[in-house]
Chain A
């Protein structure tokens, strides 16, 4: 087990293994996204209250769920880089930030567009929406902080601390619809009780959530490969890659 953990810290090994994972996961992700989107947009029945605008759920919920999960990935990677000083964890933390920011942006934008036909407005300073906006700023903050430092070791440490401090926002996002009066509807998928959705609507949603998790993994790995190449410029394994192409 520990051999595997040590290998995880090796840039050439990580580059090679991520290439193998991507060769399988990338086509699977694209397939799931296309099937899930077509299923949800064209084959799922219409919601009797919200009409067809409810179909935005097939993009809004997966983006929101994975944006939150992405923050866990970033914060855990930050903690590992702080505690064990593992460079690969720092690379993962740095690379998770732009992917998480993009998905949080999609969550906010799709939510705003959905808000117009449902609530009559694009934006309200609601607890759920505001805490998601804070999540977006946290992602941007980590990206900006990393760029601000000349010394990349110090940048990694500062970003790890910011990621960990920002974790306080995650339970607030989850519980905001229960703690405060909110326009935002409660959670659609519940693990402890039966889902509020009919299975014909729920199945494409679950597929899209899985597809977005895979999308996050693919984007993270692609970002990490690019970062590993830049960090390894001048080393033998990167030069041999350039020569092999």
Chain B
């Protein structure tokens, strides 16, 4: 490792605040780019499953897991 200690790596001789802020923002954006569309697709498929069960259409407040359990899927 280039730095002598973890503290030195965090401080980066006074530039740590800039570097680690960019790292944090980059991590949030990268994770968001991958997780949000995947979650959106999963949610859409779950909604379709609910729509396929007639009881679920009659009771809009019902949870998806409950519907799946009731329909045995």
Contact = CB atoms under 8 A, between A and B. Distances in A.
Interface of A: 26, 33, 37, 41-46, 51-53, 55-56, 59-60, 63, 99, 102-103, 105-106, 109-110, 113-114, 116-117, 215, 218-219, 222-223, 225-226, 229-230, 233, 238-239, 241-243, 245
A225 B34 contact: no
* Prevailing SS type, chain B contact patch: helix
B33 interface: yes
B29 A102 contact: yes
Given A42-B1, A44-B2, A102-B29, A55 B12 contact: yes
B23 A37 contact: yes
22 contacts: A26-B34, A37-B23, A42-B1, A43-B1, A52-B12, A52-B19, A53-B18, A55-B19, A56-B22, A63-B26, A102-B32, A102-B33, A106-B29, A110-B26, A114-B18, A218-B34, A222-B41, A226-B38, A226-B44, A229-B41, A233-B44, A245-B73
B15 A52 contact: yes
A45 B12 CA distance: 12
B22 A113 contact: yes
B66 interface: no
Which among B21, B25, B30 has the greatest number of chain A C-beta atoms within 10 A? B30
* Prevailing SS type, chain A contact patch: helix
A233 B41 CA distance: 12
Contacts of A33: 30
Given A51-B15, A226-B41, A60 B33 contact: no
B43 to A, nearest CB: 9
Nearest to A109: B25
